[in-house]
Chain A
Amino acid sequence: MSEAAARPGLVDGARLQLRVIGALVIREMHTRFGRQRLGYLWLFAEPLLLGGVIALLHGASGGEGIRSSFEFFSIGFMLFQLFRGIVARAPNTINANQSLLYHRQVTLPDLFFARHAIELAASAGVMALFVFAGIAMGGEAPDHPVKMILALVLMLLLAQGLAFMVGSITSEFEAVGYFIQVATFGLMPICGLMFMVEWLPAEWQEAALWVPTVHLFELMRDGQFGEQFNPVYDLAYVGWWIIVPHLLGLAGLRIARKRVGLD
């Protein structure tokens, strides 16, 4: 099986794919937020409200230091929001856009890339806002912003591989989608958002480090707070959690592409 001759070169192929993803982003924004210019603000409003409320609740509960600081929860929540936004939206990505496959330049991964770009923009945008809000309220500037950005990018990739898997599975078994919605919320207490590994009892620390997102929260807080605590993370471990789901997920999408009905 081959498609010869008109197959574009690498550069043209990349250009074509970027064009398609760009068009999908615009379309997704229009369908999600309507056509009014201010509609785009909703993209930021939801994470802003959720993150702000959670951070304020924790701030009001007292305590000192990092553990109760506004920055700890507001900025951490954006990292969680990025993961949740991508994975929880994965189940209906194929169904909602099936008819676009009539245009042969639109591929299944493109549908996901477009949504992930939107989620990244929302989470990173609101995160930056919280960083500045934290400074304005008398907090310290991040110790090492590059580490925070790296944590965001790795979280994007981690969520992306899982989203490919979830997307291909749910295109065949729709009911799995409902489970995913619940499961992403169930992850909240164990994903690393609520704790630092060093706060845990010794016997729990090892267990916590099995969860890949925990490493990314540690990395993010390393960049955020610097020397104020001892972060624990192993990025090679996270790397496996990125690579293996990508391979499985992309293979799954190839299979799904053959099975998606177009009638």
Chain B
Amino acid sequence: MGLQLIDVHKSYPMRQGRKRVLRGIDATFRRGERVGILGRNGSGKSTLVRILGGIEAPTRGTIRRSMSVSWPIGMAAGFHGALSGADNTRFIARIYDRPVRETVDFVESFAELGDYLRMPVNTYSAGMRSRLGLAISLAIDFDCFLVDEALAVGDTRFGRAFGARLARAGLIIVTHQPSLVRQLCRRAAVLADGTLTFFDDIDEALATYNSL
């Protein structure tokens, strides 16, 4: 078992009535499984990611979590701009109960930040920030990496190393980019009208998605 959603609903209060974003999601993600979830803009992708990541509670329904799921990678990992990359790394290692020194060593060797690791995160470029976040998430070594939107690592040494590591991990990618799903996933689902439909065949999922 891994992560299971049973009849999950999520709605938000609006000026008039409630906006029902998710309307009964049933899904099972097994440990080590690599699943892509495709959704158009406004289909509720971000909401689903936050619920999968345990950041928001559903309005109704049950979530069973028996594996460690990462924070939504690609979103800000809660870095404090005034603190150095190393201090931010230490903080995250502490709250995930990982050895602090080893985590920093891993990030140092993996993120290719050089001396910047000891500088405030404010001074980082967007690329450096993203490398820091990705390197920390790898150091924590989750059972399942939850990836939000496009993962722009590019064809760099870091990008290839990250991709290689991710190719061996459990994965849930929520995105609007079919290419990413084809490249990394074994199973796919389409999110539309607040429900999630699974396809065993990736091509079938992509065809459905493209016809939306």
Contact = CB atoms under 8 A, between A and B. Distances in A.
Interface in A16-45: 16, 19-20, 22-23, 26-27, 30-31, 35
Contacts of B65: 3, 5-6
A106 interface: yes
Contacts of B77: 99, 102-103
Interface in B39-69: 46, 50, 53-66
B72 A1 contact: no
B38 to A, nearest CB: 21
B58 A1 contact: yes
A5 B94 contact: no
B29 to A, nearest CB: 13
Contacts of B161: none
A29 to B, nearest CB: 11
Interface string A168-187: 00000000000000000000
A106 B57 CA distance: 14
A66 to B, nearest CB: 44
A101 B90 CA distance: 17
Contacts of B72: 102
Contact of A3 (B63, B71, B90): B63
Given A26-B91, A101-B55, A4 B78 contact: no
B82 A106 contact: no
B150 interface: no
Nearest to B76: A99
Nearest to A97: B78
A142 B101 CA distance: 45
Given A31-B80, A102-B77, A19 B71 contact: no
Interface string A219-263: 000000000000000000000000000000000000000100011
A22 B93 CA distance: 12
Contact of A1 (B46, B60, B79, B90): B60
B87 A30 contact: yes
Given A1-B61, A19-B94, A19-B95, 19 more contacts: A1-B59, A3-B62, A5-B66, A22-B94, A23-B91, A27-B80, A27-B91, A30-B83, A30-B87, A31-B83, A35-B87, A100-B78, A103-B77, A103-B92, A105-B95, A106-B78, A106-B95, A258-B56, A263-B46
Interface of B: 1, 46, 50, 53-66, 71-72, 75-80, 82-84, 87, 90-92, 94-97
